[in-house]
Structure 1
Amino acid sequence: MTSARIEFLSRLAKGLAAQFGPNCEVVIHDLEAADPQHTVVAIENGHVSGRFIGDGPSNVVLQSLSGDPRALQDRYAYITRTEDGRILKSSTVFYRDDDGRPTALLSINFDITMLVAAQNSIGTLTAHEASAEENAPTIPHNVSDLLDDLIEQSVRLVGKPVALMNKAERIKAIGFLNDSGAFLVRQSSQKVCSYFGISKYTLYSYLDEAKAAAEGAKDDGGR
């Protein structure tokens, strides 16, 4: 992303944060960053999530980097949470170049913890997606924490501990990690292999089977 675009988006972030106050974190992620583990190029009120310029991507950013750019859509007023349990009302907006390709992501994270506590009287200010707060994704401090969170999500998706998973269920979990962009994180393969008790050869085999299953599902859906 060009320095001019970063400068504009940085000013936009500053304006939004100034408008809504210290509980409103605004983050700019460079989706064209040379190192996908360091995507934050501007941040206001970073104390909300504990992040700084140069920190790594969120769950949404990893999915953006690994997914089909044409399928990416802005999201508004959904719930996330910080590592210490505070509730955030979040929105993500893609910044696109003249060809429609996403080059940056603007993320707004508003701390509504106290508002939720008084939701009966100010419910219109805290309206958000219906997803349960306890299942909301965590905004991590670094990519290592993000990878841990994605692994935990993959286990919850299957619905049983790794030790009780059969091959098909492990493939399902590995497929989720791949779709979530987990393998963009440096040394993620080693960590995933250790967690699931498999070799790298088995991991690559599971990845191939997960991708084949996903392609098969697409073909069936197109008939």
Structure 2
Amino acid sequence: MDMFLDAKVGSSVLAGPQNDRGFSAVMQEIQDVSSDEPSVVGGYETLTRSGKKLRSATVVYRDAQGHPFASLCVNSDVSGIEAAQACLAQLLATGAQHENQASEPPDMEYLMTEIIQGAMQQSGTKNGAMNKKAKLEAVRQMQDRGIFIVKGGVEKAAKALGVTRYTIYNYLEEIRQSQTIAKAQTSSRKK
């Protein structure tokens, strides 16, 4: 008794068996009568009438003599999985780009040198001769750019200005006090 059951996923393609790789593989399995164990032909693609990809697998069941008596084909619509996979690949690629950018630390020596040179130039010094007012202004600019939160920043600034690190700390204290006084004066004017 021959029986055919077709539970459709979408719309099956109306094409001959010559176009179906799964059918060809099943036909080869059918001709092999060396075992009474079911044969599984899996992992092949088929298409719906609309062109949607299906992942297919077919099981060929055999009787005790090894002759096929039934087959079952399962088709799974994988378009949603492929869309999710493409989305994840895009997210992972973006994450990898950010990860590569973050893993390359900036050259801190270069940045500190740039901050110090910029502060010294903006404080109006020429020929390396700086008075205390110019040095205070340079230290304020360096502080504004965050050099003193970096290890070695105080020592590098002191060397560039030709002072000790203790002098840099004294300048920072003077700057802090002048900012506190300026804030107090501003708030008293508002009242």
| Interval containing the TM-score (normalised by the shorter chain) | 0.3 to 0.5
Larger helix fraction of residues: 2
Higher RCO (C-alpha under 8 Å, 6+ residues apart) = 1
> Which protein shows a greater Rg?
2
